């Protein structure tokens, strides 16, 4: 079990470049199953979840032609297997993204029902309701989703609540269905828009992406995918907060400020000095920040994936910050760990009350999920003394070379096996 050791209290200085978005590349990798040929995807981040998804596609019959640097060429001609093995799905919920493409391509799918995870039950009932609306027979047994569809028929699907991968899954299934599909109350995340754009570039007929109604005219076949993954807005936000929490001067490059409007506004409200340009955001030193309130919400609201990182920042702000987590039912695991560093946080259901303290102290810490881990790293960078963070495999799921990037910004951080 790797650990990360951080000696805190050093303002970060310098530039960091953001990689491709984990939550954009996972659906695009699943979408390669809709095609038969050589798919080329550039800007692929080297993170564990990408390796897991590639392993899953390979188990289904795809073949990695090459994967150098951030360019992946994957051949999906030989996709024959419709069963996604439990051991892969249980390590990554996003494996459920192969359901739509398998139903559309092979007319069959057998995917282990993703279990819950640390942040919540995370059911996929809305995905399954959508597939049934498209004419698929979906039967759950032995912890598996068994899907069959002679031919998917376009339909009108209303999502009871907004689901990012649910929207992606239905968009992929509808791309090869007969006729028109209208998806209502859809996710507007940039990663969903990107998936629609990549599918359209391969011959799909999708419109409305980025709004809450997406229309898909089914087509008989798609060309192999070819695209460059959009920058990871959550990685970008994490490094912006790293600059702010250490009182340093950090330029985050290769990011899309339009994808981070909610975070930018909240940071500025807190007194963080930001210089925003076309594809970079620079944080400059500011005095003690003011506490501000946030409530997470589907895009374009404040992203739930930056809630833990923002909470770390608020532990040192002047005053009281109220953080409302509207998306997941259990996404405050980082709070207890932050309190062990001296933070003053009380939890009341979906609300966290953070009373700013003047400093945090380093401590032995345990990561529980991907974004909670990032929150602990940020707090450790700002804390006086040494922190040792265990279970850092959570971090490796979604952050590429985090300790190298932070070291280059002047952090005292190292990984021990
Ligand atoms: C995606 O998860 C992201 N993962 C998550 O990022 C992100 O936190 C989440 O969207 C919200 O933005 C990927 O894109 C791979 P949802 P997803 O379906 O699609 C409930 C990270 O840290 N729901 O939008 O699984 C669900 O329980 C990860 O990178 C149902 O009830 O999230 C949750 O409370 C964590 N039934 C809410 O909706 C369903 O059928 C939003 O979930 C589907 C979802």
CA 120 / ligand 1 centre spacing (Å): 9
Q: For ligand 1, what atom is nearest to the CA of residue 126? A: 40
Ligand 1 atom closest to 187 (CA): 24
Q: Whose CA is nearest to atom 38 of ligand 1?
A: 163
Cβ neighbour number for residue 253 with a 10 Å cutoff = 16
Task: Give phi and psi for 19, each to the nearest 5.
Answer: -95, -175
230 within 8 A of 246, measured Cβ to Cβ: no
- If you write DSSP's letter for every residue of 359-370 in order, what string do you get? --B--EEE--SH
Residue 350 CA to ligand 1 centre (angstroms): 16
339 is catalytic: no
- Give 166 Cα–ligand 1 centroid separation in angstroms: 8
What DSSP designation does 384 have? B
Chain position carrying tokens 């279990």: 115
Question: Is the separation of the CB atoms in 103 and 131 below 8 Å?
Answer: yes
Q: Is 94 in the pocket of ligand 1 (CB under 6 A)?
A: yes
In the chain the domains, ranked by start, together with CATH numbers, are 3-19+231-416 (3.65.10.10), 22-228 (3.65.10.10)
Mutate to test the pocket of ligand 1, among 119, 161, 212 (most ligand atoms within 8 A of CB): 161
Q: How many helices and strands, by DSSP H and E, does the chain display?
A: 14, 24
Q: Which residues of 96-116 are buried (b: 16+ CB within 10 A; e: fewer)?
A: bbbbbbbbbbbeebbbbbbee
How many angstroms separate the CA atoms of 216 and 312, rounded? 41
Which residue reads 């966290």 in tokens? 352
Model confidence, pTM: 0.98
CB atoms within 10 A of CB 238: 27
| CA distance linking residue 295 with residue 301, whole number of Å | 8
Q: Is the CB of 328 under 6 A from ligand 1?
A: yes
Instruction: Give the integer Cα–Cα distance in Å for 186 and 191.
Output: 12
Residue owning the nearest CA to atom 16 of ligand 1: 163
pLDDT in tens, the chain (417 residues): 899 999 999 999 999 999 999 999 999 999 999 999 999 999 999 999 999 999 999 999 999 999 999 999 999 999 999 999 888 888 899 999 999 999 999 999 999 988 767 788 789 999 999 999 999 999 999 889 999 999 999 999 999 999 999 999 999 999 999 999 999 999 999 999 999 999 999 999 999 999 999 999 999 999 999 999 999 999 999 999 999 999 999 999 999 999 999 999 999 999 999 999 999 999 999 999 999 999 999 999 999 999 999 999 999 999 999 999 999 999 999 999 999 999 999 999 999 999 999 999 999 999 989 999 999 999 999 999 999 999 999 999 999 999 999 999 999 999 998
Q: How far is CA 47 from CA 119, 149, 240, 248, 396, in A?
A: 20, 33, 20, 27, 6
* Protein residue closest via CA to atom 26 of ligand 1: 122
Q: Pick the catalytic residue from 96, 117, 255, 339.
A: 117
* Binding site membership of 307 for ligand 1 (Cβ less than 6 Å): no
Q: Six-digit token pair at 129? A: 């309701």
């Amino acid at each position: 079990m790797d650990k990360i050791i951080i000696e805190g209290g050093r303002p970060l200085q310098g530039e960091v470049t953001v990689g491709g978005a984990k939550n954009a590349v996972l659906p695009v990798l699943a979408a390669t199953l809709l095609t038969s040929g050589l798919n080329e995807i550039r800007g692929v981040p080297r993170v564990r979840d990408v390796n897991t998804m590639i392993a899953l596609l390979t188990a289904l019959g795809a073949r990695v032609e090459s994967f150098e640097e951030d360019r992946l060429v994957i051949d999906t001609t030989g996709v024959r297997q419709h069963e996604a093995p439990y051991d892969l799905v249980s390590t990554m919920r996003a494996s459920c993204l192969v359901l739509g493409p398998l139903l559309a391509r092979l007319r069959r799918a057998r995917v282990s029902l993703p279990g819950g995870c640390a942040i919540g039950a995370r059911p996929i009932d809305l995905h399954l309701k959508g597939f049934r609306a498209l004419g698929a027979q979906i039967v759950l047994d032995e912890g598996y989703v068994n899907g069959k569809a002679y031919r998917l028929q376009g339909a009108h699907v209303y999502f009871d609540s907004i689901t990012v991968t649910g929207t992606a899954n239905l968009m992929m299934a509808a791309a090869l269905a007969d006729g028109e599909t209208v998806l209502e109350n859809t996710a507007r995340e940039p990663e969903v828009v990107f998936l629609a754009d990549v599918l359209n570039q391969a011959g799909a007929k999708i419109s409305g992406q980025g709004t809450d109604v997406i229309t898909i005219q089914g087509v008989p076949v798609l060309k192999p995918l070819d695209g460059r993954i959009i920058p990871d807005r959550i990685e970008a936000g994490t490094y912006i907060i790293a600059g702010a929490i250490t009182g340093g001067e950090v330029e985050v490059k290769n990011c899309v400020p339009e994808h981070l409007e909610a975070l930018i506004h909240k940071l500025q409200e807190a007194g963080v000095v930001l210089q925003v340009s076309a594809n970079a955001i620079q944080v400059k030193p500011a005095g003690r920040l003011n506490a501000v309130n946030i409530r997470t919400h589907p895009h374009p609201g404040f992203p739930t994936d930056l809630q833990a990182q923002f909470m770390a920042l608020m532990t040192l702000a002047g005053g009281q910050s109220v953080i409302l987590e509207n998306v997941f039912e259990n996404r405050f695991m980082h709070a207890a760990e932050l309190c062990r560093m001296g933070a003053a946080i009380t939890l009341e259901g979906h609300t966290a009350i953070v009373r700013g303290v003047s400093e945090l102290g380093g401590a032995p810490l345990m990561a529980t999920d991907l974004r909670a881990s990032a929150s602990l790293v940020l707090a450790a960078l700002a804390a006086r003394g040494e922190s040792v963070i265990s279970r850092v495999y959570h971090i490796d799921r979604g952050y590429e070379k985090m300790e190298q990037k932070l070291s280059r910004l002047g952090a005292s951080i190292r990984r021990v096996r």
